[in-house]
Amino acid sequence: MSGVRPISPRRRRLLAGLGGALTLAPLARCLASNDAHAQTPVVVVTAYPDEVMSRIEAAFHTTYPQYRLQFVWRMPNDALPYLLQDHQAGADVYWSASPRTYAALKQAGALRQLPQTLRTLPGRIGGAQIADVEGHFVATEVAGYGFAYDLAQLDALHLPVPADWDALRDPRYAGRVALPIPATVGFAPVMVDIVLQAYGWDAGWALWSEIAGNAQLVDRGASFVTDKVGRGDCAVGLSIDFFVASAIANGQPLRFAYPRHNGINPGQVAITTDAPNPEGAEAFTAFVLSEAGQRVLLHPDIRKLPARPGVYADAPAGYYNPYAAARAGGLDYNAARGQPRLALSAALFQQMWVEPHKEQRALWQRVHAAEAAGIAVGDARAALSAVPLSETQADALAPMFKRRLEGSVDTERSTLERRWARFAAQQRSIAARILDTQGAA
């Protein structure tokens, strides 16, 4: 961190608590107007951690010394209502990794159309559209999904490094897979949908049921997936590449593998419609998209995947290049197809396999033990794998969940979700009865 002024926890709490009106920002701008040498504030709402923002702040100030960055930290479920307040809470820029939030803000008319000079980077990687086709937001970086793993634990379990998602249904993984909860962990809903698209709706949900049966669940605000694997609690954890890269850089004994079927989640930037400082907002956006700004993302403390293709020529040996992976056919996930149903899928996952996880996991252990003993329990497997709606039905119901973001609570949907929970309970009862009848312990 040499040469970089870190953002202190005290400063972070202050900025996060400025409130809806950001009352200090107008005061700062007033003072700036009376002092020709004062820096003009640029207010950036973000969910990126201090490691990213402190380095971006230092590099930005070198290029644009006339501006002073003010960061307001908001997770996606908080950022949407925050930026829909009167005058958009005084914010100039939104910079984060939550495609659903950007889509909702655009629909609400809360984002400006960016000038063409800020829309020159690729808008697509593989099957994923990473920038708004109408130019209201563009990608600054992308993240790939995959498996954090401890090679020593895999060797002890006599397991190879998983090459794809279906490897995680192996009974030897029982209790050794760290699985983030899709309803509360921001990156996880896309991960769920990658599997649904790769394997098909019914087969994909069946695979998730079995993986969940092998898993330890990881909630937001609890332990990190990387900690679960690094401590030896799990052999494999489902995560995003830069989280794992950061853990490795901090000394965790981990490695990372990308699955054969994969997709990417973009981090994007946009300028608010009511931006008090549109010139400063454009300067910040231009910087994070520039070669200098994009190279910051390659730093060992950050290790993100820049959206600017040419920057990968400066990356360390072995650094994952999503553009090269896409050319090889490894990023065929269609984000536009999946985005409308992400919130529904997260809610369904919650009712089917998170709320009743202890019982569900015990039933899968019984199924695996029975199959190992040569007992026919295919009907029990089918019962545990079934979901209460087809893909067509899910697409029709998805608009009901369009305002549902990770970590939010929406009691209006509770009737439908209770119906799903009852279906799941019935399926578990069927599976248990079959296992009992077949003498499966």
DSSP 355-398: TTHHHHHHHHHHHHHHHHTT---HHHHHHHH--SS-HHHHHHHG
Residue 332 belongs to some domain of the structure: no
Q: What is the pLDDT of residue 275?
A: 98
What would the mean pLDDT of 328-352 be, rounded to a whole number? 91
Q: What is the pLDDT of residue 30?
A: 43
Q: Are strands 177-180 and 236-240 parallel, antiparallel or unpaired?
A: parallel
How many residues appear in the chain?
441
pLDDT tier at 15, thresholds 50, 70, 90: very low
What are residue 438's phi and psi, to 5 degrees?
-85, 0
**Nearest to residue 145, comparing CAs of 124, 162, 170?**
162
86-95, 121-130, 276-285, 367-376: segment of lowest average pLDDT: 121-130
Cβ 425 vs Cβ 357: under 8 Å: no
Shared-domain flag, residues 290 and 345? no
**Cβ atoms < 10 Å from Cβ of 262:** 23
What are residue 107's phi and psi, to 5 degrees?
-60, -35
Q: What is the pLDDT of residue 222?
A: 62
Which residues neighbour 318 within 8 Å (Cβ) at sequence distance 6 or greater? none
**Over 70: is that where the pLDDT of 146 sits?**
yes
Residue 3 belongs to some domain of the structure: no
Cα–Cα distances in angstroms (integers) from residue 203 to residues 147, 282, 330, 380, 385, in the given order: 21, 46, 20, 15, 8
**Over 60: is that where the pLDDT of 394 sits?**
yes
Residue 330 belongs to some domain of the structure: no
**Over 80: is that where the pLDDT of 403 sits?**
no
Q: How many CA atoms lie within 13 A of 355 on its CB side?
A: 17
28-42, 117-131, 142-156, 369-383: segment of lowest average pLDDT: 28-42
| Domain C-terminal end among 325, 346, 377 | 325
| Percent of the chain surpassing pLDDT 90 | 73
What would the mean pLDDT of 42-69 be, rounded to a whole number? 96
**Over 60: is that where the pLDDT of 1 sits?**
no
**Over 50: is that where the pLDDT of 236 sits?**
yes
Shared-domain flag, residues 165 and 215? yes
Residue 372 belongs to some domain of the structure: yes
What would the mean pLDDT of 304-326 be, rounded to a whole number? 93
Cβ 47 vs Cβ 267: under 8 Å: no
Shared-domain flag, residues 382 and 315? no
Shared-domain flag, residues 70 and 95? yes
**Over 50: is that where the pLDDT of 417 sits?**
yes
Q: What is the pLDDT of residue 68?
A: 97
Shared-domain flag, residues 413 and 321? no
Q: What is the pLDDT of residue 11?
A: 44
Condensed to tens digits (0 to 9), the pLDDT of residues 187-233 reads 899 999 999 999 999 999 999 999 999 999 999 866 689 999 999 99
Residue 4 belongs to some domain of the structure: no
SS3 per residue for 211-257: HHHCEEEECCCCCCHHHHHHCCCCCEEEEEHHHHHHHHHCCCCCEEE
Residue 363 belongs to some domain of the structure: yes
Question: When comparing pLDDT for 77 and 281, which is higher?
Answer: 281
Cβ 229 vs Cβ 148: under 8 Å: yes
| Domain C-terminal end among 325, 354, 372 | 325
Average pLDDT of the chain is 89
Helix (H) or strand (E) holding 56: helix 50-63
Q: What is the pLDDT of residue 4?
A: 35
**Over 70: is that where the pLDDT of 26 sits?**
no
Residue 189 is part of a domain; what is its CATH number? 3.40.190.10
Shared-domain flag, residues 226 and 364? yes
What would the mean pLDDT of 90-114 be, rounded to a whole number? 95
Q: Are strands 236-240 and 138-149 parallel, antiparallel or unpaired?
A: antiparallel
Shared-domain flag, residues 281 and 385? no
In angstroms, the CA 281 to CA 272 distance is 9
Shared-domain flag, residues 19 and 108? yes
**Over 50: is that where the pLDDT of 28 sits?**
no
Q: What is the pLDDT of residue 88?
A: 98
**Nearest to residue 46, comparing CAs of 74, 70, 67, 10?**
74
Domain containing 138 equals: 9-142+264-325
Q: What is the pLDDT of residue 246?
A: 80
Q: What is the pTM of this model?
A: 0.76
**Over 90: is that where the pLDDT of 142 sits?**
yes
Residue 198 belongs to some domain of the structure: yes
**Over 70: is that where the pLDDT of 180 sits?**
yes
Q: What is the pLDDT of residue 45?
A: 99
Angle value at C-alpha 267, between 261 and 272, nearest 5 degrees: 145
Cross-strand pairs, 68: 41
| Percent of the chain surpassing pLDDT 70 | 88
The total number of structural domains that make up the chain:
2
Helix (H, G, I), strand (E, B) or coil at 149: strand
Question: When comparing pLDDT for 102 and 10, which is higher?
Answer: 102
Select the highest-mean-pLDDT range: 16-20, 31-35, 216-220. 216-220
Which residues neighbour 63 within 8 Å (Cβ) at sequence distance 6 or greater? 287, 290, 292
What would the mean pLDDT of 331-355 be, rounded to a whole number? 93
Helical spans, DSSP H, in 127-236? 151-156, 188-199, 201-213, 225-230
Amino acid identity at 137: F
Residue 281 belongs to some domain of the structure: yes
What would the mean pLDDT of 36-40 be, rounded to a whole number? 71
